[in-house]
Amino acid sequence: MSNEAYVPAQYRHEHTPYRRAGRSGLRLSPISLGLWQNFGEDRDPRTLRDIVRRAVDLGITHLDLANNYGPPPGSAETHVGRILAQDFSRHRDQLVVSTKAGYRMWEGPYGDGGSRKYLLSSLDQSLERMGLDYVDVFYHHREDPETPLEETMGALHQAVVSGRALYVGVSNYSPERTREAARLLGEMGTPLLLHQPSYSMFNRHVENGLLETVEDLGVGLAVFSPLQQGLLTNRYMSGVPQGSRAGGSSGSLSERQVKDPDYQARVRGLSEIAHQRGQSLAQLALAWALRHPQVATALVGASSVHQLEQNIQTLDNLSFTSEELARIDEFAVDGTGR
């Protein structure tokens, strides 16, 4: 990475098929850079800076964070703040930066959930870590049955009217709670912009009512884990690589998951379909998740510039025949790998 002043690629927007978020005026890159498990203190800051620079050069405009992303919690926002200050201080209006609060962030009764105190305090901390005056999207990260939804949505509304956020969203909400959240926000005059659920070939819960709900509401989907934390790549077809998420007690996947015969059979079937399409398995999985018009963007992490570039090549082939979708359905079974 050069220490020279960074200048974004001049034609980076020309070949990116940006998508509208629901019925809003905001358009997002179909693939966004998700910073969930790969922007922590265990990563080389120079590599992280290279990834963000290359993402922007490839037409990615959206960086997705949360208060607890790292590890440790907060470190992803700190890294991004440093990169924004180094390279993007003059390009802030060309980026969409989102963050969230909802899971435990600090000890005590005010560091978790959906209360007004927690959400707005967390947002202030996120802005400080990133060195920003506002985020483009502020999400409530999860349902909190112990807090009235009116209070939680009121806090999101306050984030907008106070200038700390331009738009708001929810994540991991059921269709019913999404509909109620949208109603409450609409009455306050702050539309619900995005819903962020998990969605992949092996986790198809959004097809059980959420797709129809967001279509009715005019809300966009920003889907996370479209590669099912690596299960929808070729990485685990020949065992468990050293240093992988399935290799060790601290990993988010278990060795049992990746050696499961059903998983192995299904991932090999999908890999064959991908090969016939001229894609990698990961590219097939991303294109499949993006096939719904309700999906504004898919959030994908990257551990290297090369991996990011491979993911972006997905955009070269996003169309499916009905025959391909039928074949994929034979192997894209909800619950695989759990």
The yes-or-no verdict on residue 240 having pLDDT over 60 is no
**Interior angle at CA 170, CA 12 and CA 292, nearest 5:** 55
As a whole number of angstroms, the distance between CA 259 and CA 112 comes to: 36
**How far, CA to CA in Å, does 15 sit from each of 10, 19, 159, 268?**
12, 13, 34, 32
The CATH architecture that domain 19-227+289-316 belongs to is Alpha-Beta Barrel (3.20)
Q: For 135-192, what is each residue's pLDDT tens digit?
A: 999 999 999 999 999 999 999 999 999 999 999 999 999 999 999 999 999 999 999 9
Q: For 24-66, what is each residue's pLDDT tens digit?
A: 999 999 999 999 989 999 999 999 999 999 999 999 999 999 9
Q: How many other C-beta atoms lie within 10 A of the C-beta of residue 14?
A: 8
As a whole number of angstroms, the distance between CA 296 and CA 294 comes to: 6
Torsion of CA 250, 78, 190, 102, to 10 degrees: 30
As a whole number of angstroms, the distance between CA 243 and CA 245 comes to: 7
